[in-house]
Structure 1
Amino acid sequence: MITCVVDYVIDPAKLEAFERFGRRWMDLVERHGGTHHGYFLPSEGASDRALALFSFESLAAYEQYRQGFGVDPEFIAADRIREESGCVLRYDRTFMRPLLPSDLPN
């Protein structure tokens, strides 16, 4: 399993648009074979940082999901929210391997 961690710098004045963007992508990840762990939005501290975490069975499964970018009308519509609103100023994507409580020895 791989988990994609997306670290966003967002425009705090456009948080509602970012939430619409996030809801669309959570649905798309789930429908295209991944598990979305949610978006984590500013609460206290920095008001311009957000995170998203989602997992796929493998990097190959993630790459299959990525084939829809720029092609699938639903992917394009979801990304249009970000582009038209300007809610995302910058983002970085990192892939991690989770260590989960279920991985602990008995």
Structure 2
Amino acid sequence: MITCHLRYEIDPARVDAFEEYVTGWVPIVTRNGGVHHGCYLPHEGANDIGYALFSFPSLADYERYRERIRRDEDARLLWKLATRTECIRRFDRTFLRPASPRTEQS
């Protein structure tokens, strides 16, 4: 399994637009074989950072998802929303794998 961790730097004056954008990805990820773990908005502390996490069975499955969303109308609408509202200043994408407990043989 591979988990994509997205860290967004957002415009604090446009959190509502960012929330619409980031939560709009949940059904897109799900219908393309991923598991969405949630979207997180600023609450305490920094007011310009948001997160999202979702997983796919493999990096190859994630790459197929990336190909499919290029043709997905809902994804296009979300990209247009982000562009129109300028709610996202920048983002970083990190890929993670689950930690596994070591056995005596490892």
Structures share a fold, TM > 0.5? yes
Aligned residue for 1:67, secondary structure, equals helix
TM-aligned CA deviation for residue 74 of structure 1: 1.7
Instruction: Provide structure 1 residue ranges, at least 5 long, that are not aligned to the other structure.
Output: none
Taking structure 1 as the reference length, the TM-score comes to: 0.89
Match of residue 36 from structure 2:
36
Percent of aligned pairs with the same residue? Answer: 46
Aligned residue for 1:33, secondary structure, equals coil
Match of residue 46 from structure 2:
46
TM-aligned CA deviation for residue 7 of structure 1: 0.6
- Number of residues paired by the alignment? 102
**C-alpha separation between the residues in 2 aligned to 1:47 and 1:78?**
22
**C-alpha separation between the residues in 2 aligned to 1:73 and 1:43?**
31
Match of residue 93 from structure 2:
93
Match of residue 66 from structure 2:
66
Match of residue 8 from structure 1:
8
TM-aligned CA deviation for residue 104 of structure 1: 5.5
Counterpart residue identity of residue 19, structure 1? E
CA contact (8 A) 1:7 1:93 kept: yes
Taking structure 2 as the reference length, the TM-score comes to: 0.89
CA contact (8 A) 1:7 1:92 kept: yes
TM-aligned CA deviation for residue 68 of structure 1: 2.3
TM-aligned CA deviation for residue 71 of structure 1: 2.2
Provide, for residues 22-55 of structure 1, a one-character-per-residue CA deviation record: whole Å limited to 9, x for no partner: 1210110011100000111111000000111000
**C-alpha separation between the residues in 1 aligned to 2:68 and 2:79?**
12
Larger radius of gyration: 2
Counterpart residue identity of residue 27, structure 2? D
Aligned residue for 1:98, secondary structure, equals coil
